[in-house]
Structure 1
Amino acid sequence: MMFEEYDNWGHGNWGRWGADDERGTLNLLTPETVVAAARCVREGRVVSLAMPIRGATSSAAPTTVPHLRGRPLPQHFMSVDGGDYAAGARAVGAGLKMADDALVVTPHGTTTHMDALCHMWSGDELYNGHPAGRVRSYGAQRCGIDKAGPVVARGVLFDVARLRGVPHLAAHDRIGPDDLQGCLDATGVDLRPGDVAVIRTGWPLTWEEQGPDAYWSGQPGLDADGGRWLAGRDVSVVAADNAAIGGLNDRQLADEGPDDDLHLILLWRHGVHLAEMLWLEELAAARPADFLFVAAPLRIEGGTASPITPIAVL
């Protein structure tokens, strides 16, 4: 059944999976749904959909990796220490060394990540009516990213840039239901409950081809009706190669009001997790009708997001 049957008070999927639910539409990923998704594997080819994480302390990351202006970039520290191997090294007479890593990442706007249902809310309530006061500086006690678990689902690519015949959309472009249906018509696939909708705008190409200023001039993305269209078709996750699912202006902000804000429509009202800042160029070149989508957020207790490496298995 689609969400309209549960849409009491304009709250989409609230109560659909019980008063204690903290996973939203990920509840649609039943064993049967996962088995059906696995049937999409035809070649056995594995494609990463993640941006690289390049620590700002160890590379020229500010000029080489797309990110939102003003967001703190990942910090990657390394040490070389042979201490743990000292005894063994003496025993074999070899000078063994060990390298360790420390990584500090603020996922939102800086790397490929998944938003938790506690990331955004309205008033005093999180998704499903959980109290927003449970989100504190030490973590969210409700709807954190640790409640999501691994995502194994059928992925459907909405290559809107290809549909419109351009390498990438323009910063002011918005994606509505007609675009989404047009992508399905072009590939001949249908959208099923539990699918992951993967939306390609091509926007990361502007960073590579024109530089940061072009990337920061705004961003294309879903419009409110496009978000409602996807929620109404019971997708489990909406994933995109832009930074915020919806469009952004040149101040890196959304122009929509609360009723049309994509994060409120999808995360808060309908419990649809969001995956942002994917790299979709290799996937788009393969032009799959559908594929197996796999992503596992870190079990960060109470986290508002987690870095992920989404995988498409073709």
Structure 2
Amino acid sequence: MTDDWRQVADRVRNWGRWGADDQLGTLNYITQEKISSAARLARRGVRFNLSIPVDAYGPQSAHGYRRNPVHMMTLDGGDADMSRALETQKTGGGAQEAEIIELWKGPMRYTDDFIVMPLQSGTQWDGLAHVYYDDRLYNDHPAASVTSAGAMRNGIEHVGASGGVMGRGVLLDVARHCGVRRLEPDVAIGPNLLDEVADSQGVAIEEGDILLIRTGWWTHFLDHRDGATWQKAAPGVSWKVAEWLHERRVAAIAADNIAVERRTPEIDNHVLLFHMLTIRDMGMTLGEIWDLEALAQDCAGDGVYEFFLSATPLLVTGAVGSPVTPVAIK
């Protein structure tokens, strides 16, 4: 069993499929024709924001290398008299003071802010430089091509520069199909269950689709506001779903949990095996921590589980992932 996943890796590996220089992977399945067809799915003009809030109250509290975003003001409403104070002090300060004095000579005042955050602390895409094994990234690039300066290969900026991620989105509401608000901890969603859900919803998975998986697990965080517990034992797809996605030529997959896949390893000492197969071997971008609740409610109401989806990452040069504000339009 332990070695079975390497046989799957050989079968799903897309290295060279779109050329030796490709850095988009399965997003190549989203053609102009696919986007044009998907745009016609926006029939009602109803929009669903699938992002969680970017603030200090998110789910990143379980480990040291990721933290919730920190938002800080550089200028606020209490700074309205700054120019007067600077001019009065005659400090002979630098260009910044001179700029503020000049800008605020008249009645105009402004506020300004910045944010410090791990790029993958909230609703986000995992890029193709995010996961590797055996010292190789997607398309046989060396893991050492990701340096302290960023990813020299497979950086997330290639996705943004290509026009982003948009096309036909399909929601598979696994939790609702199972008759529960959310799946139990440690549930592994296998290919057969995904087929059952698609059949029951009357929706077909097509080449180039962006597949959304609802486990209902985001409601666990909303109920308890405990990021550590929310991340631990989260349900998700089985690593065996990688081959299912490969056969259907799915472009990308996202879910409402921490890692798309089941958080507890299905094979001992093989953490995030689904990540290894999809990102490193298939070249598939993964979306994590998406809020699918309102969209799922609407889909259940009208029986339509397909929609136009736009989810373009930030154009951060050399980044291995990116925050995203996905919008589904029905």
Smaller-chain TM-score range?
A: 0.7 to 0.9
- Which amino acid letter does the alignment assign opposite residue 263 of structure 1? H
The structural deviation recorded for 1:227 is: 2.6
1:1-314 aligned at under 5 Å gives the runs: 9-10=10-11, 12-54=13-55, 56=56, 61=57, 65-67=58-60, 69-70=62-63, 71-80=66-75, 87=102, 89-91=104-106, 94=107, 96-108=108-120, 110-149=121-160, 150-212=164-226, 214-249=229-264, 254-256=265-267, 258=270, 261-287=273-299, 288-314=304-330
- Which amino acid letter does the alignment assign opposite residue 286 of structure 1? D
Query: Which of structure 1's runs of 4+ aligned residues deviate more than 3 A?
Result: 7-11, 81-91, 254-260
Match of 1:3 in 2: none
The structural deviation recorded for 1:183 is: 1.5
SS in 1 for 2:105: helix
Q: 1:248 to 1:278 in 2, by over 3 A?
A: same
In the alignment, structure 1 segments of 5+ residues that lack a partner are 1-6
Contact 1:224 1:262 in 2 (8 A): yes
Q: TM-score, normalised by structure 2?
A: 0.83
The CA RMSD measured in Å over matched residues stands at 2.1
Matched pairs, number: 292
Q: CA offsets, 1:209-238, max 9 Å, x none?
A: 234164244200000112321222111111
Contact 1:12 1:270 in 2 (8 A): yes
Q: 1:186 to 1:112 in 2, by over 3 A?
A: same
Q: 1:107 to 1:218 in 2, by over 3 A?
A: farther
Q: 1:176 to 1:11 in 2, by over 3 A?
A: closer
Q: 1:119 to 1:13 in 2, by over 3 A?
A: same
Contact 1:68 1:216 in 2 (8 A): no
Q: TM-score, normalised by structure 1?
A: 0.87
- Which amino acid letter does the alignment assign opposite residue 235 of structure 2? P
The structural deviation recorded for 1:45 is: 0.7
Contact 2:129 2:137 in 1 (8 A): yes
The structural deviation recorded for 1:86 is: 5.0
